[in-house]
Amino acid sequence: MKLVVIAGPTGTGKSELAVRLAQTIGGEIVNFDSVQIYRGFDIGSAKPQSATRHAVPHHLFDIIDATEEFNAADFATAAKRVCSEISARGRLPILTGGTYFYLRALLAGLPEMPARDEALRARIRRIAATPRGSARLHSWLGRVDPSSAARIASEDRHRVERALEVWITSGRAISTFDRPSSESPEILPALKLALILEQATLHSRLDARVEEMYRSGLVEETRALLQGFPPDARPFGAIGYREAAAVVSGALDLEAAIEETKRRTRAYAKRQMTWLRSERNVHWLGAAEQEESFAAALRLIEGFKVE
């Protein structure tokens, strides 16, 4: 089974290139974005329009509700199954998205770690629900796993829960398990193509994209979602949704929310570039030269398929 990955910072046109390639070479799109997996979180995650998803098969979009648990190991299991099914049909899996730890989990695998323990999670959440409960849990994590506590914010309930769960069930700090890195050998062959764009142009695109999301109803979408899901559900912490939820609650005005979303989006794009620059065997394509990038991608894919 061979995979093609279309990577790059958010806003560089990954989805558009992936769809065009899929239509040309007989591929199917597989999502590795950790927000687009949630049903209903559409505008803020820049989820592909329904017409696009009907034109080319899309997989691993809208697969869980906001209150369901889903992590990198779950993604790797689901993506491996989907990619195998696509390959069995004689078609090419084309992965695109922005959650690169999900991608690395698929390509390089994850260490064997304790499974989720729902009863234990419930006990931890009861503590979190008490006054200063989140701070107490984070302080506890700091005592048993200082390394994890240093890199996990106290308000990141899900990651604090998981770190404590692993320590309680295994007796080992989650930070002692070897996470896949750019040096980890990959167990699945993948052609990695990454779009790149000059920084000022990218920032301009990202700012315009954020403004369009709010014009298209991001606050209204978030308000509707909050009627069905608790505000601490994981996707409400995502870029755009956190700020839109703050508008709904009255904690931020609309202008401040837009500016904060722009700031977080630019910072996210920077982190994505840092990840990609550390990755091995990446073929860089200029996002500004769309026709040249498309032609170069086709050539690379054809060579990859016959290797």
Look at residues 303, 238, 297 and name the one whose alpha carbon lies nearest to residue 5.
297
| Tokens 């597989």, residue located | 30
Most confident of 217-221, 272-276, 278-282: 217-221
pLDDT of residue 255: 97
Whether residues 198 and 83 fall in one domain: yes
Whether residues 216 and 300 fall in one domain: yes
Instruction: Tell me the CB-side half-sphere exposure of residue 307, using CA atoms within 13 A.
Output: 13
In the chain, what percentage of residues exceed pLDDT 90? Answer: 68
Last residue of a domain, one of 161, 176, 191: 176
Contacts of 179 (CB under 8 A, 6+ apart): 110, 111
Q: What residue numbers bound the domain in which 155 lies?
A: 118-176
Mean of pLDDT values over 3-12? 96
Domain count within the chain? 2
Whether residues 19 and 56 fall in one domain: yes
Contacts of 101 (CB under 8 A, 6+ apart): 72
Whether residues 101 and 124 fall in one domain: no
Q: Report the distance separating Cα 298 and Cα 307, nearest Å.
A: 14
* 266-305 burial code (b ≥16 CB/10 A, e <16): bebbeebbebbeebeebebbebeeeeebbebbeebbeebe
Whether residues 223 and 128 fall in one domain: no
Contacts of 19 (CB under 8 A, 6+ apart): 29, 48, 52, 55, 56
Per-residue model confidence as pLDDT tens digits over 176-205: 876 666 566 678 999 999 999 999 999 999
3-state secondary structure of 61: coil
Whether residues 209 and 284 fall in one domain: yes
Whether residues 216 and 101 fall in one domain: yes
Name the pTM for this structure: 0.83
Are residues 87 and 21 in contact, defined by beta-carbon separation less than 8 angstroms? Answer: no
Are residues 38 and 102 in contact, defined by beta-carbon separation less than 8 angstroms? Answer: no
Mean of pLDDT values over 227-238? 94
Helices (H), the chain: 14-25, 50-55, 72-88, 100-108, 118-128, 133-144, 146-151, 157-170, 199-215, 218-226, 241-249, 254-278, 290-306
Residue 256: pLDDT band by 50, 70, 90 thresholds?
very high
Are residues 47 and 94 in contact, defined by beta-carbon separation less than 8 angstroms? Answer: no
In the predicted model, is pLDDT for residue 246 greater than 70?
Answer: yes
Q: Are strands 190-196 and 3-7 parallel, antiparallel or unpaired?
A: parallel
The CATH number linked to 165 is: 1.10.20.140
Residue 129: pLDDT band by 50, 70, 90 thresholds?
confident
Whether residues 101 and 130 fall in one domain: no
Last residue of a domain, one of 176, 200, 224: 176
Whether residues 187 and 93 fall in one domain: yes
Amino acid at 289: E
Amino acid at 164: L
Whether residues 100 and 229 fall in one domain: yes
Whether residues 195 and 268 fall in one domain: yes
Whether residues 218 and 254 fall in one domain: yes
Last residue of a domain, one of 176, 195, 219: 176
The CATH number linked to 24 is: 3.40.50.300
